[in-house]
Amino acid sequence: MAQEDVHLDDAGLALGLSLGGGGGASDAARQGTCSRLSREPRALEPSLTLSMPDEATATGSGGCGGGPSHSVSSLSVAGVKRERVEEADGERASSTAAAARACGAGAEDDDDGSTRKKLRLTKEQSALLEDRFKEHSTLNPKQKVALAKQLNLRPRQVEVWFQNRRARTKLKQTEVDCEFLKRCCESLTEENRRLQRELQELRSLKFAAPPAAASHHFFNPFTHSAAC
DNA sequence: GCACCGGACGCACTTACGTCA
DNA sequence: CCTGACGTAAGTGCGTCCGGT
């Protein structure tokens, strides 16, 4: 299992930073420098959607039976511009073998364009990708091509893997953040109850207390709470 | 200097496939 | 064997940035 870079040690300082602020860190990478986050993230709308990673359909349609197998993604209908660019760049689709392997017996013809086969990365490929991801969560084009070559994959596949990997990391971080906020909320609720009780007691003793003694102190849960 | 455009990239969301209980 | 849940590779659409004109 991969180690997620989940950092929450500074009592939630990471909170909000990772929530909903996507995009915009790409161009530094494009230019060969890996200084991501050097730029303002877009809009920063707090889209706390928290969709679980697979509430989508699960239409198991029975995979590789005897049907035609396909060369993974390049079968996609004419619309994949990046793919075309990279292919034109001389990157040959080398994952056909992997797809066929993943599909058991290989019939390596192409397709009718209506289905898509799914490549399963080998353990070695996944491990190397994971290693690179630990070093940098983004790749510049040179790194991408080199890594693709090393893995016998297409650059597009490496790119997609990194994209999905970043999404998984972010999802995990969001879950951690939510868990933290939940605990924080519970703690504040408990503290609130305690203070309500305390207030109740003080009111019941108010005949003994001087009239305006305690009126200048407002409790700020965010500065006093042990949880946050 | 400014506006516009196209290319490249990352992200969110979604789909589809392989695997497993 | 069938089925549903789950993990994940891949597709799509959109926003952003940058270089060229």
User: What's the CA A218/C1' B7 distance, rounded, in angstroms?
Assistant: 57
Integer CA distances (angstroms), A19 to A14, A27, A50, A88, A182, in order: 9, 21, 10, 37, 15
Whether residues A170 and A197 fall in one domain: yes
On whether both A151 and A161 belong to a single domain, the answer is: yes
A179 touches strand C (CB under 7 A): no
Structural domains in chain A (count): 2
A84 and A133 share a domain? Answer: no
> pLDDT category, A206, cuts 50, 70, 90?
confident
For A98-139, write each residue's pLDDT tens digit.
Answer: 333 333 333 333 444 455 677 889 999 999 999 999 999 999
Position with higher pLDDT, A79 vs A165: A165
Determine what percent of chain A is predicted with pLDDT higher than 70.
Answer: 39
Residue A223 near residue A184 (C-beta atoms within 8 A) = no
Which nucleotide's C1' atom has the smallest distance to the CA of A158?
C9
The pLDDT value recorded for residue A196 is 97
Residue whose CA lies closest to nucleotide B13 C1':
A51
Confidence of residue A155 (pLDDT cuts 50, 70, 90): very high
pTM of the model: 0.60
Instruction: Supply the range of the domain harboring residue A99.
Output: 66-120
Cβ of residue A118 lies below 7 Å from strand C: yes
> Do A81 and A145 have their domain in common?
no
Q: How far is the CA of A58 from the C1' of B4 (A)?
A: 44
CATH, residue A150:
1.10.10.60
**Is A30 part of any domain?**
no
Whether A33 maps to a domain, the answer reads no
Please indicate, yes or no, whether residues A227 and A149 belong to a single structural domain of this protein.
yes
| CA nearest to A74, candidates A59, A58, A88, A60 | A88
Is the shortest CB-to-strand distance from A84 to strand B under 7 Å? no
Residues 140-169 of chain A within 7 A of strand B, judged by CB, are 141, 159, 163, 166-167
By C1' distance from the Cα of A41, the closest nucleotide is C16
Asked if residue A175 and residue A128 are part of one domain, the reply reads yes
Q: Using CA atoms, how far apart are residues A82 and A117, in angstroms rounded to an integer?
A: 19
